[in-house]
Structure 1
């Protein structure tokens, strides 16, 4: 499996409140984590860093994930533990009161991808065409889902960045946890809204179609978001199931 992670401060923000990475457990299996500290709240960078550090430590201690069920249970349990860490840190440190973060954590098991998700960071699967596989936990997405506004209206809605759910803002949280299939030739994109607020799905698909390395594609995507304003931090992980590979994801 090919993989590449990139984060960029953007052109406007004074600091990068995104965090994440591609991590290996003792069996050399891959966990990807992306967290977007809540903009406009105190210590968003602290919240995302707590999540990144926590998942890295937990995954490095993990010996091996052997089933989808085990992966889903591991992600669900550790999302809850990460939520407690962020919430308790905010409660104990008044300067961090109200902080929170989105999070996407994914485990790759041969031809399955197990996803845990809170917030409006996104996952996309590219298999001939691009498909968003996470559902934004945002106010505008709820309005779209109930038919009150259109998808086009959502893109320019003044409250488009208002989250209905974020990690660390309440004592308990319920993440979306699910598993999808992928196959040789597919690509998988995980990203914060610093990318998707600027680069449309059709343009994302165009980049994902290119016969270039994952690093080249990732750098082009970040550059494009910055060309279009770069008002937010931009973070992404790109992974590819190479054509003809027999799905040994322990390497």
Structure 2
């Protein structure tokens, strides 16, 4: 497994509230995390940085009895995200400058050909093969709720004035309910985690076309971010791309 992690402030924002990282264990297990913070007075970057750092610390502290099944990985992810949620919520409550802060959170554990994902918010996780791209996660957004209930069409969702409203975020409430996904990863598959600064600007099929080229993982991620910026870059743009191949930047 190889990976590339990159974040960009975009063309309109004055600071970057996105955070992302990949943490790797000696046994080859990896944890990819991405977070898009929100909150006034730069609190969004505090929330997203806390989420990524704390998830990485918990992963690196796993002892010899590591989870092995989907159920045990889901239980671990659920427990860790609830701990992170509590810490961010308490920090938000303790200081007026951090009041109301929160963050999206995608956490993907890659272990022995499997990927175990926990999801909160409207950042996304995709799997990509040479032929297909599949969005695994479902946005926890107001517009997605309207879409699911049939109140609006997909065309209306794309231009809805509240399309950026999210209904679930880590740290914004005392309790949190992550959603969980599992997908096998085979040689040649890609895993993409990204914030909405990318997914709002670049169509899924265009992402796939860029990702399946012969370029390095770093070059692919740079091309994705550059395209989002070319198309406006109104938001911060962050992507983590992992691949079971000999291409790329860091090796897992």
Residue number in structure 1 paired with 2:35: 35
Larger deviation, residues 126-135 vs 34-43? 34-43
Larger deviation, residues 56-65 vs 209-218? 56-65
Residue number in structure 1 paired with 2:165: 162
Aligned residue pairs total: 245
Residue number in structure 2 paired with 1:52: 52
Question: 2:182 aligned to 170, 179, 182, which one?
Answer: 179
Question: 2:128 is paired with a residue of what secondary structure?
Answer: strand
Distance 1:130 1:28 in 2: 25
1:148 Cα deviation after fit: 1.3
Q: Does 1:93 align with 2:95?
A: yes
Answer whether contact 1:192 1:236 (CA < 8 A) is retained. yes
Q: Does 1:137 align with 2:140?
A: yes
Residue number in structure 1 paired with 2:212: 209
1:233 Cα deviation after fit: 0.6
Matches within 5 A, 1:187-198: 187-198=190-201
1:159 Cα deviation after fit: 0.5
Larger deviation, residues 176-185 vs 155-164? 176-185
Residue number in structure 2 paired with 1:117: 119
Q: Which runs of 5+ in 1 are unaligned?
A: 244-249
Distance 2:186 2:165 in 1: 35
1:144 Cα deviation after fit: 1.1
Question: 1:85 is paired with a residue of what secondary structure?
Answer: helix
Distance 1:125 1:159 in 2: 27
Q: Which runs of 5+ in 2 are unaligned?
A: none
Distance 2:134 2:28 in 1: 28
Answer whether contact 1:25 1:62 (CA < 8 A) is retained. no
Distance 1:56 1:239 in 2: 17
Distance 1:25 1:224 in 2: 33
Length-normalised TM-score, structure 1: 0.93
Q: Does 1:149 align with 2:182?
A: no
Distance 1:110 1:26 in 2: 13
Question: 1:153 is paired with a residue of what secondary structure?
Answer: helix
Larger deviation, residues 131-140 vs 193-202? 193-202
Kindly report the root-mean-square deviation, in angstroms, between the aligned alpha carbons of the 2 structures: 1.7
Answer whether contact 2:120 2:178 (CA < 8 A) is retained. yes
1:25 Cα deviation after fit: 3.1
